[in-house]
Amino acid sequence: MNYTALAKSIFRGDRKAAARLISIVEDEEEGYEDAMKLVFSGTKGAGVLGVTGPPGVGKSTLVFELAKRYRKNGKSVGIVAVDPTSPLTGGAILGDRIRMTDLAGDQGVFIRSMGTRGGTGGLSLQASNTIRILDAMGCEEIIVETVGAGQTQVDIMGLADTVVVVTMPGTGDEVQSIKAGLLEIADIYVVNKMDLPGAMSTAADLKSMLNLVDDWKGWKPPVLLASANSGRGIDELTGSIGGHRSRMLDPVVSMERRSKQARKEIFDIITGQIMHSIASNIQADELDAIVREVVEKKTNPYDAARKISIAASRTGKPPKAL
Ligand SMILES: Nc1nc2c(ncn2[C@@H]2O[C@H](COP(=O)(O)OP(=O)(O)OP(=O)(O)O)[C@@H](O)[C@H]2O)c(=O)[nH]1
Ligand SMILES: [Mg+2]
């Protein structure tokens, strides 16, 4: 595979080349890291918006509305939908949904959905590579949607410049349904489906929860109301996203966020490399035998881990990706 040619096509805005490289990265095909090194050098600095929240609250509907606004302003848009609970890839489901919207057939919109495929690199690393490929292809605004799955969801949202946490009025305690990790990463809250009863009180609950925190370091997350399927509240949301983005232009704030992202990515890569080298240097039955020794108390987990580390570095060569 000639990755230089592929990367060059991506830099020229070739959608097929971008889709191809995303698949190569997902499959962790031989040498994909070299392709990503090239892509890294060609990114242009797209704005990345994260949209997350519990299942069915209207995230995708909101994402499509936001994408329409970006298109109206002449921006090209990338949409990445990540579902850590699903093994689906290739944009099948999301693609079917988009065909029913005004964005269907728009060459200025690139959509990709991804799920867990059992690679060693982890889903947030794959999402980060996908974002980078779309950026290098020329998407100016990238929106990442994730549906709830604990730490992975939080990690993926960590890739965004601005994170919107969406909820809706309902029967249970909506504030509780937003997991603790999300409260830490939210820059903006949206109570969607404001056409349903209880929206005002859900918003009030969120606001009173936020009032318990006194140090917001310059940005207190606003709580907005919206009705994504009728387009209500979207202007306020885009305004708020713009406000947060201007705040991100502060060099200190931006440096802090980007350093955190880069550190996380580097450690994800290291973890992936270690897992890869374990997988390529130890037979499954050898690993099973070590695990059994721990279960049978013939050894302890620490000595077992050491045995595996030694076996993993058996070749004396660094793992493939280095
Ligand atoms: N009443 C009402 N329904 C809405 C609103 N926005 C979206 N919906 C509906 O809610 C349902 C779920 O919308 P999605 O946009 O798929 O929600 P989601 O959060 O992306 O769902 P998952 O990705 O499956 O977690 C759809 O039937 C939408 O038409 C709204 O503002 N009001
Ligand atoms: Mg969705």
Listed as own residue / partner, the contacts of 174-180 with beta carbons closer than 8 Å and 24 or more positions apart are 174/202, 174/205, 174/206, 175/202, 175/205, 175/206, 175/209, 177/54, 178/53, 178/54, 179/148, 179/150
Q: pLDDT at position 99, please?
A: 56
Give the ligand 1 atom nearest the CA of 166.
19
pLDDT band for 175, please (50, 70, 90 cuts). Answer: confident
In a domain, 322, yes or no: no
| Alpha carbons 117 and 172: distance in angstroms, whole number | 33
Number of separate domains in the chain = 2
Same domain, 238 and 198: yes
Identify the residue whose C-alpha is closest to ligand 1 atom 29: 229
Percent of the chain predicted with pLDDT > 70: 89
The values of phi and psi at residue 165, to 5°, are -105, 125
Q: What is the DSSP letter of 54?
A: S
In a domain, 180, yes or no: yes
Which residue's entry shows tokens 């606001």?
207
Ligand 1 pocket, residues with Cβ under 6 angstroms: 55-61, 147, 192-193, 195-196, 227-229
CATH of the domain at 226: 3.40.50.300
Ligand 2 centroid to 221 CA: how many Å? 23
Ligand 1 centroid to 135 CA: how many Å? 27
Stretch 51-60: mean pLDDT: 90
Residue 85 has pLDDT above 50, yes or no: yes
Same domain, 62 and 177: yes
Q: Is the dihedral of CA 48, 64, 126, 39 positive or negative?
A: negative
Same domain, 211 and 308: no
Same domain, 161 and 113: yes
Of 249, 276, 296, which residue constitutes the final position of a domain? 249
Same domain, 169 and 308: no
Ligand 1 centroid to 188 CA: how many Å? 18
Stretch 203-213: mean pLDDT: 88
Residue 217 has pLDDT above 70, yes or no: yes
Give the ligand 1 atom nearest the CA of 81.
23
In a domain, 29, yes or no: no
Each residue's pLDDT tens digit, 184-201: 889 999 999 999 999 999
> Which tops the pLDDT comparison, 131 or 312?
131
Q: pLDDT at position 145, please?
A: 93
Ligand 1 centroid to 187 CA: how many Å? 21
Its pTM stands at 0.89
pLDDT band for 171, please (50, 70, 90 cuts). Answer: low
In a domain, 321, yes or no: no
Same domain, 104 and 243: yes
Ligand 1 centroid to 80 CA: how many Å? 17
In a domain, 24, yes or no: no
Identify the residue whose C-alpha is closest to ligand 1 atom 7: 58
Q: pLDDT at position 321, please?
A: 47
Best probe residue, ligand 1, of 51, 52, 60, 237 (max atoms within 8 Å of C-beta): 60
Of 196, 215, 249, which residue constitutes the final position of a domain? 249
Structure tokens at 73: 């302003």
Nearest to 66 by CA among 135, 164, 149: 164
Ligand 2 centroid to 275 CA: how many Å? 31
pLDDT band for 90, please (50, 70, 90 cuts). Answer: very low
- Give every CB contact of residue 130 below 8 A, 6+ residues apart in sequence: 22, 25, 80, 112, 114
Same domain, 219 and 298: no
CB 227 within 8 A of CB 192: yes
In a domain, 17, yes or no: no
When the pLDDT of each residue in the chain is averaged and rounded to a whole number, the result is 87
Give the ligand 1 atom nearest the CA of 192.
31
Stretch 75-88: mean pLDDT: 84
Q: pLDDT at position 322, please?
A: 43
Of 218, 249, 280, which residue constitutes the final position of a domain? 249
Same domain, 275 and 200: no
Give the ligand 1 atom nearest the CA of 194.
31
pLDDT band for 94, please (50, 70, 90 cuts). Answer: low
Same domain, 215 and 298: no
Same domain, 240 and 205: yes
Same domain, 218 and 116: yes
Same domain, 109 and 218: yes
Range of the domain at 277: 265-312
Each residue's pLDDT tens digit, 15-43: 999 999 999 998 888 889 999 999 999 99
In a domain, 257, yes or no: no
pLDDT band for 84, please (50, 70, 90 cuts). Answer: confident
In a domain, 147, yes or no: yes
Residue 315 has pLDDT above 80, yes or no: no
Identify the residue whose C-alpha is closest to ligand 1 atom 3: 193
Residue 312 has pLDDT above 90, yes or no: no
